[in-house]
Structures are given as C-alpha cells and as structure tokens.
Amino acid sequence: MGPPAGGPTATHCPYCALQCAQTLTPRASGPLPVEVTARDFPTNRGGMCQKGWSAAEVLAAPDRLTTPLVRRDGVLGPATWEEALDLVHARLAAVQAEHGHDAVAVFGGGGLTNEKAYTLGKFARVVLRTPYIDYNGRFCMSSAAAAANRTLGVDRGLAFPLADLGGAGAVLLVGSNPAETMPPLVQHLAGARSRGGLLVVDPRRSATAGLTADGAGLHLAPVPGTDLVVLLALLHVLVDEGLTDTAYLAERASGWDEVRASVSRWWPERAEQVCGVPAPALRRTARLLAAAAPAHGGPGAYVLTGRGMEQSTQGTDTVSAAIALAVALGLPGRPGSGYGPLTGQGNGQGGREHGLKSDQLPGYRLVADPDARRHVAAVWGVDPADLPGPGVPAVELLRRLGTEGGPRALLVHGANLAVSAPHVGAVRAALGRLDLLVVSDVVPSETARLADVVLPVAQWAEEEGTMTTLEGRVVRRRRAVPPPGDARDELWVLRELARRFGHDLGDDPRAVFDELARASTGGKADYSGMSYDRLDAGEALYWPCPADRPEGTPRLFADGFATPDGRARLVAVDHRGPSDDVTPERPVHLVTGRVLHHYQSGAQTRRVAELVDAAPEPLAELSPLLAADLGVADGDRVRITSRRGALEVRARVTDTVRPDTVFLPFHWADAHSANLLTTDATDPVSGMPEFKVCAVSLARAALPAVPVPHEVPA
C-alpha cells in the first residue's frame, strides 16, 4: 500500500477543505518522520498556510497516542488492543441488551476520509442498528446544505472549480474570512480585487475584509446576526433599479414573485436601521454585483457564503436569500459566475454525502426514502427493514446523552466535543452521564481525556483514502509512513469491533471505496464512475461522476437545477434576529471565529510549537470605544459572561471590530473555551447551532495589563 519506503508521496493537507496538495518525503533521522513540501495543484497553486507547512509536527507530538487506554479505578492506563476491544464490545452489548439498539450513539468528524465516514455510517446502521449517528459537520455546513437542497436540489459546496473565480468582476463574500481560514484561496480573488469588486460582509475588519482597501472593493460591517437583512436589501436594490436577469428568472426559477414581494419592505434606509450598514454602501454593493453579472455584459460574478452567516438560527433562510440573490443576477450555471458555500472541514463534504449525517445514506440519499433504503441495503446485504430510520441532529443527540430513553454509550471518531460543541458546559455534563464513552483519536484531546476507552488511530500521512474538497473534487490521500507504536487505522478498528458483533466489515480502503461507489450509484453524490486507479491517474474527478459519465461534473447547473422541473425553487424569507439578542444586562454581541495559526478545536495545532508561539492564547478583540467604556486597557484581563457561562481572557483593543461587538476565537479549551458562552439554540430546518452570535456582558478583571501583539489586516 502506498509508494516504496523512502520515496516521496503525493497527498493533501490534513486541515481544511481546500486540501492543498503536498509531497511527503520520509526522513531517515530527525524528530519528524516526514518532510512536507507544497505541490502544485489548481486550488493551492504550490502554496500552503503555516498549518500545512507544520503539519508533520502533529505526527510526532510528544503525547501522541500509541497504545489503547482503558479507565481503571478512575485512571486511564495502557491496555492491549484485545483487552480494549473486548471491553468495548462487552459493554456496548450489555447496554443494548438492557436499553435497546438506540442506547448507543456514534459521532463522527469532518476530517475522516470518505472510506472511514462510509464505514462508520455502515457500522452504526448495520452492526449497532442505531439511528443515533451525526457528525461535527452539523456545526459547519448544515445550513448551507439545507438551503441548497431546498432551492437548487443538490448540495455540493462550490458548483464550479475554485480557479473559475479568477475571471470574476465581483465576488461577494458573506461571513467568510479565507485570508485566515484558508489563505491559499486568496490568490483566486486577485481578479475581483484588481477590478474593485471584492465585496466582504463581516462585522469585523478581518484579514479578508482588509483586502478591500485602496479601491479593491467594499467592506460592509453589519450588526452581528443581521447578514440576512444585508442580503434582503441587496435584493431590494436589484428589483428597484431593474438590475435582475429577467430572462434567466423566467426560464430557470420559480418562486421569484414571492421573493420580489418579500424584499419590497427592505429598502436600504430601513435595512440600515437594523443592520447598521449605510444605505449608500448597500446600493453600491448591489450595483457592483449587477455590473459584473453576465446579463449586463460583465465578466462574471460570484456569491460565496461562510460560517459567519450560516451558524445561526436563521442560517438556512440566510443562505436561501444568498441563493436568491445569485439567481436574481443569473449567476448559477453561467460560465464565470456562480454561487457556493466555502466548506470548512477537510472532508465535511464527503462525510455528509456518504453516511455520517443523521438522515442520509451513501450517495446523499435520504434514510427515510424507501427506494434509497432498498438500494443501499442490497449493497450491504441486509434487509431494508433492519436499517434504522433517521436519527436527530448533533445538538439534539448530545442533549439526549445519558437521559431517560436516550443513548447510554457514545463512540466518537474525529471530533473533540468537549471543546467544539455549543454550550459546552452542558455537553461536558452530558458526556459525564454516559455509561460508556469511547474515543478514537491521534492525541489525548479534551474529549479523549474524559473517555472510558481511548483507541489510538492513524492520521493523514499514515493512511490511504480519499477526501472530497470544497469544489466537490475527490482527491487521494496516500500513506507515506506507518503509524507509530500500536496505533491502527480506524477501518481496522471498526472491522475488529464489527467482527465481535458477528459482522464482516472490510478494512482495505480500495475495496471500501469500490463498495462506496456502488452504494452511491444513482444518488445525488454518485461516485460510481470513480476508482483509485482513475484518481491516481489524474486527480480531477468531480461528483456526480456516474459510470455512464465517467468524466465527472466540474460545473453544475449549466442545463438546469437538480429539481424535478429543473428550476431553482426560490424561497421568500424574513429576518427574525438572533435567539440570544442583546439586553441592558448583556449589551454586547459576542462573535466567535478562527485565527490564522489554529484550526477547529485546536487539538492538533495547539501541539505545534511554532503555531503556539504565534498565537499562545485566545484574545478578546474589542474596540477602543468599548474598552474605554469598560475601563479596559490593551492586555487587561476581561471577564465575559453569557447566560450559559463565563471566562476570563486578555483583551486586544483594536479598531477592527464594531463598538457593540467582542470577537473571541474558539480554538482553546477548558476555562478558555469560547463555547462556554455560546448558545445551543438551533436552526429549525438544518439543526445548525447559533455559534456566531450571542449576548454577553464584559467587565475588567482584577489583574494588571500585559501588552498583546497586534497584527495589521492584510
């Protein structure tokens, strides 16, 4: 499996969905097992961010898990694989014997390969026969997915290759900061910047918003939680000034009359009173987008969305409005134009396509669809009646842990719930109520440290598989070095557990992918025309890639949408506001997000010395006006309190954030976890929690100021 020992291995970065191409060369000596170099690829064009360049450090983390751990007398200690797996099997069987199949739950991660995501979904539904499976992609892409499915008929992240952005006259980015979250993407925005068309909607002057300076575009800084108002106002301007693509709408959309009527109440001056963005800026943004659109002879325009607008109780509606804006301009399916969400996690796309989502089977089929159940059950060799029905989204699953009638045991693969979940104090309490918590991980994450059994598994440079990028492009992950000690690939772990339950699951990634391709046949995410041999030959296959169209589909919607009548189904929506809005007691909006040097829960990046040196702690960003109000100096410790919890961190006083807002990154754990403050209120359609905004109060803590480093946005 993989290349000869010592040879260079072509693979992709372990972090975000950009999946920058890398070459790994094993080292004969030194502290790191491989040398990482960037490889030219259409998405990263030979570049990587600091996280990618330093990825090999995690392979050799001092606390890397290399042997199974079992809790005895309250303490985790070493065990053999036989002991650990026998214990897991015995306790899972006992829980299900006493409480039923539903007493066991599975939680996956958006960093798992397609093969592992597929096998974990099959393990849950065939071996455990539980409906309780979901994954941390529910925290990432679920609102974008729900909106795309209901309007466009399919959810594939970007419906076009990323390189297409280069020719655009205008790119609208709502709630996304790729300059810090996926820096190599920024080069694809150079064309829009050179034409003055980079349009960024963000409450902060983030590094991406800073790219709009000097005539490169516009930065709109709305009140947190009001992105939907901005989009409705932009639609109003298009209608009011006759800038819509009327021919496209007549031919390719339904529901436009209702949308047009609904946005009539959101004229820019009214919108300004709610979202805080000046009416002239709203009009100018709409006009720049329209001028770049094909209907007006422009070079092309794109509407791109991110977590800043999607992680909201009205996230699905907000994305629906973004799609309506793109359709009103005639962008989707047109050369050089389009709409798409920027997927965050490395395989957030593939994970939901092939089985980690509570309501989906492989191929992006619905669990509740009888035809889908029959097809997948035939591939799996089981009776469709034996497959459980739909489960519940992640937040509800976590709420039910250890409660009457809820799951009593939980298997976690590729997620760090004790840091990454909303209202994390309640989640930690829920994990503590379980009869059994089993965590498969590469390092002792905060969740692993709570577990009854910890299983050491391989990571990106030590495994074979595939990943699906933010473009819907399937790429190969290749093994460069073996995992250390007794660490094992998760496919092997699942095979061994299944064997103890009397089931046979394969652990050869190539064979698993071939089975995945068969299971996906005829589904929205059809991989049936793909194989390892084809991927190894070119790495340029995009789904859907059915056997009768093996060239794949780099660009969607050229001939219609994936709806029964081929028309986009536009939905009229309206603004409701955040579930936890500001009050006199909690008068400041908290927004959370990422910083350049860390990733997700920080379990990996907080173990890389150069990344920790660059960003050793979370800093609360607040404006000089708010700081003066509170009597807070740069470097002072501030106490931030929400309805759910409180924490103390140092303040960075900066003019890049609104005076009514404090920004806090979410990569840190324990007493510094931003999710101690966030709400677990969810979008009623997608189940997405409202990570991005809640109400807090701030006060200066009684410790002296220590100056903090300041970075100037690019």
Whether the per-residue pLDDT at 706 is higher than 70: the answer is no
Phi, psi of 170 (to 5 degrees): -150, 140
pLDDT (mean) for 198-203: 98
Whether the per-residue pLDDT at 155 is higher than 50: the answer is yes
Q: What's the gap between Cα 419 and its chain centre?
A: 15
What angle (nearest 5°) sits at the alpha carbon of residue 295, between those of residues 293 and 298? Answer: 45
Q: Which amino acid, residue 80?
A: T
Whether the per-residue pLDDT at 705 is higher than 60: the answer is no
Q: What is the pLDDT of residue 714?
A: 36
Q: Which amino acid, residue 552?
A: G
- Each residue's pLDDT tens digit, 558-607: 999 999 999 999 999 999 999 999 999 999 999 999 999 999 999 999 99
Query: Would you say 515 and 380 are in contact if contact means Cβ atoms under 8 Å apart?
Result: no
Q: How is residue 185 written in tokens? A: 């993407």
Q: What is the pLDDT of residue 346?
A: 86
Q: What is the pLDDT of residue 135?
A: 96
- Each residue's pLDDT tens digit, 629-676: 999 999 999 999 999 999 999 999 999 999 999 999 999 999 999 999
CB atoms within 10 A of CB 201: 28
Question: Which domains are present in the chain?
Answer: 9-59 (2.20.25.90), 69-139+347-509 (3.40.50.740), 142-341 (3.40.228.10), 588-700 (2.40.40.20)
Q: How far is CA 381 from CA 142, 465, 691, in A?
A: 30, 23, 40
Q: What is the average pLDDT score of the chain?
A: 95
Q: How far is CA 675 from CA 315, 413, 422, 530, in A?
A: 19, 20, 5, 40
d(CA 166, CA 297): 17
> DSSP label at 466?
E
- Each residue's pLDDT tens digit, 251-262: 999 999 999 999
List the strands of the sheet with 338-341, edge to edge: 217-220, 198-201, 170-174, 301-305, 338-341
The model's confidence at residue 2, banded by pLDDT at 50, 70 and 90, is very low
- Each residue's pLDDT tens digit, 390-436: 999 999 999 999 999 999 999 999 999 999 999 999 999 999 999 99
Query: Would you say 636 and 650 are in contact if contact means Cβ atoms under 8 Å apart?
Result: yes
Of 144, 121, 127, 623, which Cα lies nearest the Cα of 353? 121
Query: Would you say 148 and 562 are in contact if contact means Cβ atoms under 8 Å apart?
Result: no
- Each residue's pLDDT tens digit, 520-568: 999 999 999 999 999 999 867 999 999 999 899 999 999 999 999 999 9
d(CA 705, CA 651): 9
The model's confidence at residue 332, banded by pLDDT at 50, 70 and 90, is very high
Taking the model in full, what pTM does it have? 0.96
Of 134, 94, 131, 115, which Cα lies nearest the Cα of 494? 115
d(CA 89, CA 94): 8
d(CA 280, CA 353): 42
The model's confidence at residue 343, banded by pLDDT at 50, 70 and 90, is confident
Q: Supply the angle between the helices 509-520 and 370-380 in degrees, to the nearest 10.
A: 150
Query: Would you say 452 and 437 are in contact if contact means Cβ atoms under 8 Å apart?
Result: yes
d(CA 586, CA 581): 9
Q: How far is CA 13 from CA 16, 461, 668, in A?
A: 8, 9, 22
End-to-end CA distance of the chain: 43
Whether the per-residue pLDDT at 505 is higher than 90: the answer is yes
Name, in order, each residue with C-beta under 8 angstroms of 238's C-beta and a sequence gap of 6 or more: 244, 286, 290, 325, 328, 329
Q: What is the pLDDT of residue 540?
A: 78
d(CA 576, CA 590): 18
Of 620, 152, 675, which Cα lies nearest the Cα of 419? 675
Q: What is the pLDDT of residue 4?
A: 40
Whether the per-residue pLDDT at 709 is higher than 60: the answer is no
Q: What is the pLDDT of residue 708?
A: 56
CB atoms within 10 A of CB 617: 12
- Each residue's pLDDT tens digit, 33-42: 999 999 999 9
What angle (nearest 5°) sits at the alpha carbon of residue 305, between those of residues 540 and 271? Answer: 160
SS3 of 135, please? strand
Query: Would you say 663 and 620 are in contact if contact means Cβ atoms under 8 Å apart?
Result: yes
d(CA 224, CA 204): 9
Listed in sequence order, the DSSP H helices in 60-113 are 81-99
Cis status of the peptide bond prior to 341, with omega within 30 of 0: no
- Beta bridge partner(s), residue 652: 621
- DSSP calls for 311-343: SSTTHHHHHHHHHHHHHHTT-TTSTT-EEEE--
d(CA 362, CA 523): 8
- Beta bridge partner(s), residue 69: 78, 454
Q: What is the pLDDT of residue 673?
A: 97
Return the minimum-mean-pLDDT range out of 77-91, 140-154, 338-352, 455-469: 338-352
Radius of gyration in angstroms for the set of CA atoms belonging to the chain, rounded to a whole number: 24
Of 616, 622, 591, which Cα lies nearest the Cα of 672? 616
Residue carrying structure tokens 């069987």: 93
Q: Supply the angle between the helices 114-122 and 490-500 in degrees, to the nearest 10.
A: 10
Residue carrying structure tokens 């005539």: 215
Q: Are strands 568-569 and 338-341 parallel, antiparallel or unpaired?
A: unpaired
Query: Would you say 487 and 458 are in contact if contact means Cβ atoms under 8 Å apart?
Result: yes
SS3 of 410, please? strand
Q: What's the gap between Cα 681 and its chain centre?
A: 18
Q: How is residue 122 written in tokens? A: 């099959």
Q: Mark 324-352 as b/e (b = at least 16 C-beta within 10 Å).
A: bbbbbbbbbbbebbbbbbbbbbbbbbbbb
Q: How is residue 312 written in tokens? A: 């909201």
Number of H helices and E strands in the chain, helices first, is 25, 28
Name the region of 300 (left: φ>0; alpha: ψ -120 to 50; beta: rest): left
The model's confidence at residue 158, banded by pLDDT at 50, 70 and 90, is very high
Residue carrying structure tokens 């002072």: 636
Name the region of 626 (left: φ>0; alpha: ψ -120 to 50; beta: rest): alpha
Whether the per-residue pLDDT at 1 is higher than 90: the answer is no
Query: Would you say 675 and 690 are in contact if contact means Cβ atoms under 8 Å apart?
Result: no
